[in-house]
Each structure stands twice: as structure tokens, then as C-alpha cells.
Chains A and B, each alone.
Chain A
Amino acid sequence: MKLGPILVLVSAFLAMIVGPAFAEKTVIQYDCIPNYANWGAVTKAYQKKTGILVPPDMKGSSASMAALEAEGKSPKADCAYYSGAIGFQAASKGLHEPYKPKGWEKIPAALKDPNGTWWTVHTGHVAILVNTSALKGKPVPRSFADLLKPIYRGMIVYDDPRIHGTGFTFVSGINAILGGGQDLKAGFDYLRKLDGNILKYAKENSYNELLRGEVPIWVNADGNGLKAKYVDKAPVEIVIPAEGTVTMPLVMGLVKGAPHKEEAKKYLDWLLTDEAQHIMAESFFQPVIPVKLDASLQAKYPPKSAYAKAKVLPLDKLAAQADGIKKRWEKEIEGGR
């Protein structure tokens, strides 16, 4: 009666689950958000080239590290993509296997680990992304100091540093930008003052909201802002703050005990080729390998002079302090009473 169709459903379902798993070869990358840094296009190009699928994964840097830690000896991912300090932390926790992909020599020394437990694939910078229409006539802020002005009350958003790598880079980097010392006091004082103007500490990406003006001022990577401006054609201005900025290396590593190690290695090699780097550059994250970009693409980047004061933070120190910084932020800034 009803049993027949049910059996058919069950077997069809099982077939659908089990089948594709064996049919397609995959490489799993944690933190592979299609619309961030153009991973969608990158992985699609790779699939076209080699037939290997790198499926999207929505985890942020911290979530990826937490997942790898939880998975212990049998990780489900082959590689992971993180914002600099988190990647460093993951590597120092022994979650990565040393590997030097092809093209290793071309990466600047400051942007990789000498043993190959992590390396940068592209960089971004902390910038102030402004939706000019949403400002409704108010002047565009040009510096971090500007952000403290009361006219921007309830307009500023930055990502929760406990969850997002970019937010963390901002929170930990602001101190260095403002010339603060080891105790991070300058940075935290600034953040405390900024809190008055904050709309919310976003727990997920606010790209959509920047585009439609829901979030007028977003402190995030310049690459995202440039994409909003040129690809999605939103009235967004990318401001590199007058005080300077922090270079945010975005790093990857080969996971220890990766399920598809050989395929993963080939994938990681490919990511450093001109082709892959160029696709990433189209999302306005700067390639780590000196790649020749078309003139039109190059012109869309802010001028080099804006980045004159960009600092590269020492990742090892940052990683060591990471947990402390997050806890301190939680207590002092986010402070649930």
C-alpha cells in the first residue's frame, strides 16, 4: 500500500547521498565564502580546470579553528583560510602540517612561516567603508578620530572580534595605528569611546547591509568595499584612515591529517599561480605574489600613497595575545554589565 513508495523514497534518498560522494572528488576548505575575496570564482575556475570541487564553507576564521580543534585527529577539512593572527594561532596549536606550495619563494618573508605551517594568499587592509547615500549629507569620515564625532552616532559597525578575523584585526591593530604601547591602553580607550557611536557589533558579515545603506559606516577590509563599489555598483567610498592602517594578511594552511592530502596540495599550489591570484585580485584583495594586473583593475585600487602608513603587525605576538585581547574586549567594551 504505502510501503512500496516509501521504500523507493528511502533508497532514492540514500543513493543520492552516497552516490555523489564517490563520484566527485573534493577538497574541503574551511572558510570558503563564495562572495568573500572571490572564492566563488576561484573555486569555480579550479573546478573547470581540474574537475575537483571545493565546496563553499561559511565558517569564519575563528569558527574554522574551533572546528579543527574539535575534530582533533580526524579533521574533515583539507585546508583552511584565516585572517592572519588566527591562522598563526591555528598553526601554533599544531593544527597544520608544514607544506611549502609551489611559488613559495615569491611570498615575502614577513608573510609566511619559515617552516611552511602557514602562508599568505592575499592581503587586505582595515579601512572605513562608507555608504555615502546613507550618510544623508553628513561629511565622509576621513580618519579614525573622525569616527568618534557625535554626528555618526548609531551609524558605525564593526565585526565582533571573537567571531570574525577582520574584527579582531581591527581591535588588536587600532592600538598600533594610534601609536599605543604594549599595554594596549590607547587602543582600548579608543574602542571605549567609539562604543557610543556603534550601532551593533555584527556577528555576521554586513556586506548586504552596507550595500543598502542599513549600515552606513563599516570598518572592514578594503577589498570588500571596493567590490561593493565596482562590482555591485553601490555608492560606497573606501577611506583609508589618515592615521594609517593595518595590513591584514589572509593566510592558509594545510590541515594535519587532511583527508585528501595530495589533492589539497595541488590546490594550494594552484592558488599561488598568476591565474588564481588574478581572480582574487578581481575582488580587490591584493595578491601576495607580484602579479601583473590589467590597467583598468589596477586603477580601481586606492592610490599607493594612501597605504603609506600601513603597518604589518608581528603575527606571533598578536597570536599569543589573541585570547587575552578577545576576553578583554568582551569585558571592557561589549561588557554585558
Chain B
Amino acid sequence: MAVTVALMAVILLPLFVVVLGSCVNASLLGLSTDLWSGSRHDIFDFSAFGYIFENYGDWALFSLELALGCVAICLLVAVPAGYALARHPFPGSGLVEELVLLPLSLPGITLSMGLLAAYGELRGPLLVLAGHLLYTIPFMLRVVMATLRSFDVARLETAAQSLGASLPQRLYLVILPNLRHAMMVGSLLVFAVSWGEFNVSFLLNRGRPQTFPAVLYDTYTNQSIQVSSAATTIFLAIVIPAVIAIQWLGGRESSDMEQGA
């Protein structure tokens, strides 16, 4: 128990420091990540947030669109495939599963190099979407398959089949309703992963609004700590609710599918 709490503290500590840094001025207990208090004199100062919204607002929007698009495509592609792989395995289905998991052990640079070499002509956002999909499909697939492999759903489907239901009927009336929960959890996961994806997006950028994590990169290198902390806070504000929601809904399935590799 103690170890877990310690781990939790370790994970939270830098985030706490950073979030504080975004709006509280340097003199919290005399501690700060700055050695100076800048030109601001109030204790609480949210001006850095305004700066971010003004200058990087459309990047955040782009990231959100991208994440939603990933969710949509994952649902369309991974759900049917998950059904096929889980309930009707065929020779080579194990290989397909492994291949889907492959991108997660590749460095972002390799995937970017490959995508650029193969599809350099394509428009920027599509390339970035491709990269995101490679990283998010495994998660959705795993969620769906974990649920489908569970005993109850298998029994229900077999029962339906023995009652004479055809494939489309089984899908529509038995499988999909049972998958609703898994799809929701999967969608949230895909959203969170896509929102945070940076390596591939950074390397594939083509000058159009980039993804939000690129804002984090830009502010951590080129701007003051106030601004970068504000960017981090906004980033967390989007991702933390998603993660918490996954936990809330998840229950038993969460652990099986979040492995992701």
C-alpha cells in the first residue's frame, strides 16, 4: 500500500509544481521554479492562460478534431475486426493482432520516417492522422476483444445463433448492445492517447496548426515558465477528466485492454 501511495505522489509531484507555476507567482513558500518574480506582482495571475488561448487556440482545436476523428475511425474499423478476431479466429489472426500492436514498440521517428517515405505527397493533417491511428487502434481493439472474449457475451451469442439468428442480426441485437460499454471506454482511451501523442505528430508536422503537445514543446523551450505551466495545465485539464472517466466506467475491462502491447 505504501509503495502505491509513494508512486502516486511521485507521479503527481511534478504536475502539481507545474500547475502551481502557471498561476501562482514565484513566492510560494519562497520556492519556485523561477529565480525571479518577473513583471507580475499579484499572487494569482492567470494572464499566461490568456496568452496561450490567443496564440495557440487553433492548435488545441486541431488536436481535439484529430482525437475525435481517431475515435470515429477506430470505432468503425476496430470494432468489426475485434469481433471477427475474437469470435471467429482464423489462421493468421494471431499475427494480425501482433501486427496491430507493433507500432507501440517502434520509436516515433521510425513510424514518421516510414510514413514520409511512403506518403510524403499527402497533405499534412492526413499524415498526422495516420500516425495517430497507428497508436490508437491497438487500444480500441484490445478493449473490444477483451469484452468479446468474456464468457457472458460468448454465451449470449451462441444462444442467439442456436435460435437461428443470422450474422447481421446477431451483430445488431446481441453484440453491439453488449459492446456499448467497451466502446465508450475504448473511445475515451483513444481520445486520451491521441490528445497526448507527440512524437509522431511533431515529426510529421507540415506547418498547419500542429497538435497541442507541440504547444507544450514550444513553450517549454521558447517561453517563460509561466506560459509553459499554463499550457501544461490546459493539457491536463483535458486529459485528466478523460482518464478519470475511463476509470469510472471501466471496471473489470479497463485493465485488460489498457495494456496496449
Please pick, from B72, B183, B222, B225, the residue contacting A10 in the complex, using a CB distance under 8 A: B72
Contact call A213/B35, Cβ cutoff below 8 A: yes
Instruction: Tell me the complex Cα distance, A211–B169, Å.
Output: 64
Which of B35, B39, B55, B126 neighbours the largest number of chain A CB atoms within 10 Å of its CB?
B35
Majority DSSP secondary structure for residues of B touching A: helix
Q: Mark B27-61, 1 if CB is under 8 A from A, else 0.
A: 00000011110110000000000000001000000
- A206: chain B residues at CB < 8 Å are 221
Contact call A208/B180, Cβ cutoff below 8 A: no
Contact call A58/B218, Cβ cutoff below 8 A: yes
Residues of A100-143 contacting chain B, CB below 8 A? 131, 133-134
Name the segment of B5-13, B117-125, B160-168, B240-248 touching the other chain: B117-125
Instruction: Tell me the complex Cα distance, A12–B208, Å.
Output: 18
Residues of B55-87 contacting chain A, CB below 8 A? 55, 65, 68-69, 71-73, 75-76
Please pick, from B38, B65, B180, the residue contacting A2 in the complex, using a CB distance under 8 A: B180
Contact call B34/A213, Cβ cutoff below 8 A: yes
- A17: chain B residues at CB < 8 Å are 65, 69, 125-126, 129
- B210: chain A residues at CB < 8 Å are 56, 58
**A-B pair number, CB within 8 angstroms:** 116
Contact call A58/B202, Cβ cutoff below 8 A: yes
Contact call A35/B218, Cβ cutoff below 8 A: yes
Contact call A234/B55, Cβ cutoff below 8 A: no
Q: Does B235 contact A (CB under 8 A)?
A: no
Q: Does A74 contact B (CB under 8 A)?
A: yes
* A58-B217, A207-B223, A208-B228 known; A235+B125 contact, CB < 8 A: no
- B177: chain A residues at CB < 8 Å are 1
Instruction: Tell me the complex Cα distance, A17–B222, Å.
Output: 28
Contact call A13/B206, Cβ cutoff below 8 A: no
Contact call A208/B222, Cβ cutoff below 8 A: yes
Contact call A212/B225, Cβ cutoff below 8 A: yes
Contact call B38/A233, Cβ cutoff below 8 A: yes
- B176: chain A residues at CB < 8 Å are 1-2
* A2-B180, A35-B223 known; A9+B214 contact, CB < 8 A: no
Contact call B207/A55, Cβ cutoff below 8 A: yes
Residues of B216-237 contacting chain A, CB below 8 A? 217-225, 228
Instruction: Please give me the 7 A-B residue pairs with the lowest Cβ-Cβ distance, nearest first.
Output: A13-B69, A213-B35, A9-B72, A205-B221, A35-B222, A28-B207, A233-B39
Given A35-B222, A211-B36, 11 other A-B contacts at CB below 8 A?
Answer: A1-B177, A2-B75, A13-B72, A33-B218, A34-B55, A133-B35, A133-B36, A134-B35, A207-B223, A212-B225, A235-B35
